[in-house]
Structure 1
Amino acid sequence: MAYLYRQSTHCTWRRTGMWECLDFFPVSKNNTNGLDTSALGQGVKHVLKVNLDLTRYDTITYHPDVDKYMLDNTSADGWSSLRYDYGNFYASKTFFDSVKNWRLLWGWANEFDAIQFDVIPRKIWLDRNGKQLLQWPVEELETLRGQNVHMSSVKLNNGEHVEIKGITAAQADVDMVFSFSSLDGAEKFDSNWVNAQDLCGLKGSGVPGNVGPFGLLTLASKHLEEFTPVFFRIFKADDQNKHKVLMCSDARRIMITSLIPFFWGKCGSSLKSGIYKPSFAGFVDVDLSDGKISLRSLIDHSVVESFGAGGKTCITSRVYLTLALLGNARLFAFNNGTQTIMIETLSMPRA
C-alpha cells in the first residue's frame, strides 16, 4: 500500500490519496519469457500496476542516461485505462518463476456474498506492439483435460444459436476462432463511447447489430431462461480502414429481440433477484485484416474467465445459477448480427 502526499511549502504535507496492491516488474520487449525483478537493459520495459477505483496498469521505459522511469502513455486515465481483467478481478500480484522462465499473474475475484476465490493463474508477457500485456491460462490446466469436441466451418446466420454437445458444459475449456467474410457493414463507432462497460449495457447480446454480437452463451439452461453471454461486436472507426472491437461478458437481465422471442425480457445469468449481475466489457486492440478473431473461455460451474484475441482483453464473471447447474448446464454459440459468422475452428476438451 502507498499513500500519496502533496506539499507547497516543504513544511506542511497533505495526504491526497491511496494506492493499493502495487506491482512493479520488468517484461521483455523481444520474447514471451519472464524476467527477474532486477532485470534492466535495452530489451526491457517495466509495468506499474495499481489498484485505484479500478485495477489499471501502465508500461514504463527506464532511461539510464537520466536514471528515470517514464510512462509510455499507452494507457489513458479513467475507465479507458489498461487493465489486467475487466471483470470480477482484484488484488493481483505477479511473480517470476525461474524454473519455467515465465512471469505468472495471480488474482482474486470478488463476489456478491463477500466470499472471494482465486482465478486460474495466468502467464503474462508484453505484446509485440509494446503497448499492452497479454495473458493466457497456465499450461498445467491442460493436465485436467478429458474428452474432446471439435467443430469447424459451422455457419451462424442472423439470429441463430447452435448448441455445442458432447461435453459437460458446466465445466469446460472452450477455444475457438470466429471468421467473417466482410466488415463493410459494420456499425459506425461513436467517439463518445469511451466507456466499454456502458457500451455493453447499451448494445448487449440481445440488441441486433451488423457484425455482431456473436460469441457464446455460457452456463445456459435448457430453454435459455438463464445464460451468460460472452461476445464480440465490431464497429467501423472514423478511420475507414480501422475497426473498434468490443468484448463483453454480460450477466444482466436483458431483452432478447431475435434469438429466443419466447423469453423476451426474462433472460439473464440468473433468475435470482437482488444479487450483483453487472455487464463487464473492454475494447480489444486487434488486427482484423485476416477476417478472424479468437475467444477462449474457461467455464467452472459459476465462473467464466474469457480471453479475447489471444489474451489481449480478459474478463472474469461470477454468476449465481438456479437452473443451469451441473448436468443441466448447456453451451451455445450464437450470432445476433446480420453478417454471417463462421466458427472457423472450435476445440473443447472437457475440463
Structure 2
Amino acid sequence: MAASDPNGPVYYKEWYHFFYQYNPNDAVWGDIVWGHTVSRDMIHWLHLPLAMVPDQWYDINGVWTGSATILSDGQLIMLYTGATNESVQVQNLAYPADPTDPLLVNWIKYDKNPVLVPPPGILPRDFRDPTTAMLTSEGKWRISIGSKINKTGIALIYDTEDFKNFELKKGVLRGVKGTGMWECVDFYPVSTMDDVGLDTSAYGDGVKHVVKVSLDDDRNDYYAIGDYDEKATKFLPDDVKNDVGIGLRYDYGNFYASKTFFDPSKKRRILWGWITEYDSECVDRTKGWASLQGIPRTVTFDRKTRSNLIQWPVEEVNSLRMSSSEFKNLKAKPGSVVPLHVGTATQVDIVAEFEIDKLALEKAVPETTDYVCRSGGGASRRGALGPFGLIVLADSGLSEFTPLYFYVTKGISGKLHTTFCSDQSRSSLATDVNKKVLGSVVPVFNGEKLSLRVLVDHSIVESFAQGGRTCVTSRVYPTRAIYGDAKLFLFNNATDTTVTASIQVWQMNSAFIRPYQPETD
C-alpha cells in the first residue's frame, strides 16, 4: 500500500510499503508476518517495526497478502488474508491505531474478524488476497479475491459499504480453465488516451481494465487487458488467446506476487514486484532472509501495440545516478565481444540502442520457426541476426557472465520476429542455483531501434526491452564477478550482421535503507 495525496491527512505525504516475510525467530521457518517500510521518494526507505503478526485465532498460521483502500473521507483501512488455527483462509480488517501518526507504526485488528470466510463451493485453502477496493456507480466499494474451482482459476467479487458486511456477487469477474489457483489478484483501469495512471475507481470512455493474477502452479504473474462491465461484474479480455493466466506476463523472469496502486500526486500507477530466489532453501536459512523487492515501476497502456502494458522504473530511480560513461556508434562485428570500460559494474543503470546492418536484414534467409528463449540454446547459439546485446556481471576472464540479448529472425513472409532474453546459464560458478534462459517476444515497429534499459544491483538484473514492452528480471549469484571485479561488455554472436550500438552507463548510488529508531523522552 502507498498513498501520497498532498491534500489529505498527514500520512498521505509518505509512501508506505507493507510486505509479508518469514519470521526469522520461527524455528520451522513458517510463520508469516507483515513487514513495514516508509519513504518520501520510493527509493530511500525507513524500515519500521513489524506492522502485524499472527497472534489471533483467525491469523495464527500467517498474516498473508492484503490491500489498503483510502476511503472517500480520507480514512485508511486494510483487508488482509489470515490463515486460521485450522488453516482456513479468511479475510480480516485492520486500521491504523493513530491515523495522525506520520509513520503509521501501530495497527489495530477489527475485534469481530474475520469479515469474510470461504463461500459455499470454495475449499478452505483456496480463498485469499483481497484487492484494493474500487467505488461503484452505486456508491458501494467492490473488491476481488482469488480462488479456484477444481483447476479453473477464478476471481470472486464482493460489494460492501462498511468493509464489515459483504455481498458476494453472482458469478465471477473472470475464470480460466486449467490455470489453477489465482493468488494476488489485481484489478485496475488504464487510460487508452494518455500515458497517465488512473484512480482505481475510474470507469468509462477511454478506459480499459487489467486483470492480473499470480499463478500458484507456476509462480508467474499474468495479465490481460479488456473491457469491464460494472453492472454485470464481468471482465472480457480483448484477446481471449491471451486470457488471464495463459497469455501475457508482467515479467518473464523472477517476478511474483505483484501489486499496483495509484499515485494521485503524479498521476501514475505504480507496480511492486517480489523477486524470488533461485538458490537453495538451506542457503536462505543460513543468511536469514529470502527474496527481495524490485524497483517500483510505472504501468501504462501501450498505445502503439494496443495489446500490452508498458512498465518502466519510477523516475525517482534517476536520483541515484552518479558519474556516467557514454559510447556512441560502437561497431560489434559477428562473433565479437567488446569491453566497455566503465570501472566497477556492480551497481549500474544502462541505456542502450542497437541497429542491425540493413543489407544483412535484406539478405537474411527466412526461417520456418521462431526463436524461443527457454529452448533456443541461450546466447551461445548463433543465428544470422542474433544473439547480440550486453553482458553484465561478468568477470574479466568470462568464467561468469549474464548475457542480455535480442534475437531476430525473418519469417517466410519477410516479417521480422524479435525476442529478448536473459541467459543465466553461465551466471555463476555455484552449482546449487537455478540457471535458466528467460525471456519472450518483444513487439518492434518499423523505424524503431532495438532499445534496452538495464538496472544491475549486485545480484539483481532488471531489464526493460523496447521501452518496457517486455521485461525480464534475473536473480543471479556470481562468485567472481562481484564488487570491483564485475565488468560490462557489448557482444554480437550473430553470424551475418554487424551491430551498431550506442550505450550510456551510470554508476548508481545505494538506497541506504535505514533502521527505525523510536523517539525517546
Q: How does 1:1-351 map to 2 (within 5 A)?
A: 1=128, 2-5=146-149, 17-52=180-215, 53=218, 54-63=220-229, 68-73=234-239, 76=242, 81-111=247-277, 112-114=279-281, 115-128=290-303, 129-182=305-358, 183-186=361-364, 188-191=366-369, 196-198=372-374, 201-240=375-414, 242-252=415-425, 268-287=426-445, 289-290=446-447, 292-337=449-494, 338-343=496-501, 345-351=502-508
Counterpart residue number, 1:11: none
- For structure 1, the 5+ residue unaligned runs are 7-14, 253-267
Q: 1:93 to 1:78 in 2, by over 3 A?
A: closer
Q: Deviations over 1:173-214 (max 9, x none)?
A: 0001001232224464444x58x343xx32321111111100
In the alignment, the residues of structure 2 paired with residue 325 and residue 187 of structure 1 have an alpha-carbon distance, to the nearest angstrom, of: 41
SS in structure 1 at match of 2:434: coil
Q: 1:187 to 1:107 in 2, by over 3 A?
A: farther
Quick one: which amino acid aligns to residue 297 of structure 1? Answer: V
Q: Deviations over 1:250-300 (max 9, x none)?
A: 111xxxxxxxxxxxxxxx11111122111101100111x226210111111
Larger Rg: 2
TM-score, normalised via structure 1 length: 0.86
Provide the identity percentage: 42
Give the aligned CA root-mean-square deviation in angstroms.
Answer: 2.2
Quick one: which amino acid aligns to residue 187 of structure 2? Answer: F
Higher relative contact order (CA 8 A, sep 6+): 1
Asked if 2 retains the 8 angstrom alpha-carbon contact of 1:75 and 1:82, the reply is no
- For structure 2, the 5+ residue unaligned runs are 1-127, 129-145, 151-176, 282-289, 509-521
Instruction: Provide the aligned length of Structure 1 versus Structure 2.
Output: 321
Asked if 2 retains the 8 angstrom alpha-carbon contact of 1:181 and 1:291, the reply is no
Asked if 1 retains the 8 angstrom alpha-carbon contact of 2:428 and 2:478, the reply is yes
Quick one: which amino acid aligns to residue 207 of structure 1? Answer: R
Quick one: which amino acid aligns to residue 390 of structure 2? Answer: L
Q: Deviations over 1:227-260 (max 9, x none)?
A: 00000000112332x21111110111xxxxxxxx
1:67 offset after TM fit, Å? Answer: 6.8
1:146 offset after TM fit, Å? Answer: 0.5
TM-score, normalised via structure 2 length: 0.59
Quick one: which amino acid aligns to residue 461 of structure 2? Answer: V
Asked if 2 retains the 8 angstrom alpha-carbon contact of 1:74 and 1:131, the reply is no
Quick one: which amino acid aligns to residue 181 of structure 2? Answer: M
Q: Deviations over 1:59-93 (max 9, x none)?
A: 01135797743211165369972000000000000
Asked if 1 retains the 8 angstrom alpha-carbon contact of 2:394 and 2:488, the reply is yes
Asked if 1 retains the 8 angstrom alpha-carbon contact of 2:254 and 2:275, the reply is yes
In the alignment, the residues of structure 2 paired with residue 165 and residue 204 of structure 1 have an alpha-carbon distance, to the nearest angstrom, of: 25
In the alignment, the residues of structure 2 paired with residue 226 and residue 189 of structure 1 have an alpha-carbon distance, to the nearest angstrom, of: 32
Asked if 2 retains the 8 angstrom alpha-carbon contact of 1:179 and 1:292, the reply is yes
In the alignment, the residues of structure 2 paired with residue 151 and residue 25 of structure 1 have an alpha-carbon distance, to the nearest angstrom, of: 40
